[in-house]
Amino acid sequence: MKLRPVLPSEASVYSRLRNGEHTYQCFYSARQFSETEVAAWLASLDSATEKLYFAEDGGRIVGTCAVYGIDSTARRAEVGRIIVDESMRKRGLGAVMLGLLIEECRKLGLTAIFANIKEENAASQRLFLGAGFRLVERRTETGGYFEKWLVQAG
């Protein structure tokens, strides 16, 4: 598997992943987005603070993930918008993709990354805990706040 940037022209592929019946409710917006909305959103992304990736495996797009709110001064950012194609879940692809995303975050020079995950999203919580994130706090509005430090001790 490898990560590569989502192109502005790929709104239809992104919409298909994002609007899946077992996907859109996992996000805070909890709604589907039209291809036009997605295209406008892709065009508006600021690559200095936000990176959106497709994960490709064997030449096929199997998922997407992102790092955003990149604060180069504090060297922190949020990770998420993680989606594995509905037909390919529970095969370890999410774990591989999150591992690659963490590597990208290291390359960006980040020292800490965090994620907000809904209380009911057991799959995502398990995914992040498995990648070494720890639950810092349960928040009423946004659910679990998870964090991972990327700096090595010593």
Ligand X SMILES: CC(C)(COP(=O)(O)OP(=O)(O)OC[C@H]1O[C@@H](n2cnc3c(N)ncnc32)[C@H](O)[C@@H]1OP(=O)(O)O)[C@@H](O)C(=O)NCCC(=O)NCCS
| Residues lying near ligand X in the complex (CB under 6 A) | 23, 26, 80, 82-84, 89-95, 117, 121-124, 126-127, 130
Tell me if residue 89 falls in helix, strand or coil.
coil
CB of 154 to ligand X, least distance (A): 28
Q: Which is nearer to ligand X, 71 or 86 (CB)?
A: 86
Structure tokens at 50: 């936000």
CB of 51 to ligand X, least distance (A): 17
Which residue's Cβ has the minimum distance to ligand X?
94
Chain Cα centroid distance, residue 75: 18
Structure tokens at 11: 């709104």
Nearest to 10 by CA among 31, 39, 34: 39
Q: Which is nearer to ligand X, 9 or 139 (CB)?
A: 139
